[in-house]
Amino acid sequence: MPERFDVNSLDEMNISELRRVWMRQLAEPLPPLRAPELLRRELAWRLDARIYGDIDARLRQRLDQHNKPTNRRAKTRTRTTSTPIGSTLVREWDGIPYSVVVLKDGYLFEGETFRSLSQIARQITGVRWSGPRFFGLQGKAS
């Protein structure tokens, strides 16, 4: 069984410490994440998955299916965020947590694929939002 690591200890770590833990615990190449919070979440996910198991084969198959190119004539917008494919974005709104899975060409939300985070943010809130800002992927306006 893999060595247990207290993911709660990640909360107080800066980006350099998180990178050291990543290399020591996972011995994998670091993802291209510069935001400590995103690296913290990805690291916590991977450490927990190592102990408790990753996503099941059925869900992985569905995600892979969503990542396959389609023959649709409609233009698809290329993701502009650098969030790794397979990452889960979580946002609480009005006391309800919402999860979005990052796909190669979009985002999976409640069993449906969306081209942009802004579409999902609007579905959740009912008003126009910058999707990356809503999910905490961009800084706040000055």
Q: How far apart are CA 53 and CA 71, in angstroms?
A: 34
In this structure, the answer to whether residues 81 and 114 fall within a common structural domain is: yes
In this structure, the answer to whether residues 77 and 100 fall within a common structural domain is: yes
- 8-58, pLDDT tens digit by residue? 899 999 999 999 999 998 888 888 878 888 889 889 988 888 888 888 888
- 45-55, pLDDT tens digit by residue? 888 888 888 88
In this structure, the answer to whether residues 35 and 65 fall within a common structural domain is: no
In this structure, the answer to whether residues 16 and 62 fall within a common structural domain is: no
Residue 139 counted as domain residue: no
- 58-116, pLDDT tens digit by residue? 887 888 787 776 655 555 554 455 788 888 999 899 888 899 999 888 999 998 999 99
In this structure, the answer to whether residues 125 and 73 fall within a common structural domain is: yes
Which distant-in-sequence residues (6+ apart) come within 8 Å of 62 by Cβ? 108
Residue 1 counted as domain residue: no
DSSP for 36-74, written as a single string = HHHHHHHHHHHHHHHHH--S-HHHHHHHHHHHS-----S
Q: Give the domain range for residue 108.
A: 57-134
In this structure, the answer to whether residues 32 and 66 fall within a common structural domain is: no
In this structure, the answer to whether residues 38 and 106 fall within a common structural domain is: no
In this structure, the answer to whether residues 36 and 61 fall within a common structural domain is: no
Of the CA atoms within 13 Å of residue 6, those in its CB half-sphere come to 5
Residue 91 counted as domain residue: yes
Q: How far apart are CA 124 and CA 27, in angstroms?
A: 37
Q: How far apart are CA 6 and CA 25, in angstroms?
A: 11
In this structure, the answer to whether residues 26 and 67 fall within a common structural domain is: no
Q: How far apart are CA 32 and CA 81, in angstroms?
A: 11
In this structure, the answer to whether residues 61 and 130 fall within a common structural domain is: yes
Q: Which single residue is written with the structure tokens 């020591």? A: 24
For residue 3, the one-letter residue type is E
Task: Please tell me the total count of domains within the chain.
Answer: 2
Q: Which of 17, 19, 22, 15 is nearest to 36 (CA)?
A: 15
Residue 140 counted as domain residue: no
Q: How far apart are CA 62 and CA 56, in angstroms?
A: 10
